[in-house]
Amino acid sequence: MAFDTSNGILARVPGQYISAGHSGLPAPGEAQRGEPERRVIIQVPGLGLVRVTYLLHSHRHRKSRHWFWTAVHAEQTDEAAG
16 within some domain: yes
Tell which phi-psi region holds residue 10, choosing left (phi > 0), alpha (psi between -120 and 50) or beta: alpha
Which pLDDT value is given to residue 1? 46
Which pLDDT value is given to residue 80? 65
DSSP 14: -
13 within some domain: yes
Residue 79: which domain range? 1-24+37-82
Q: How many independent structural domains does the chain possess?
A: 1
Beta-carbon contacts of 55 under 8 Å, excluding residues fewer than 6 positions away, are 36, 37, 69, 70, 72
Query: Full-prediction pTM beyond 0.85?
Result: no
1 within some domain: yes
29 within some domain: no
For each successive 10 residues of the chain (82 residues), what is the average pLDDT? Answer: 72 92 86 89 94 93 92 89 56
61 within some domain: yes
30 within some domain: no
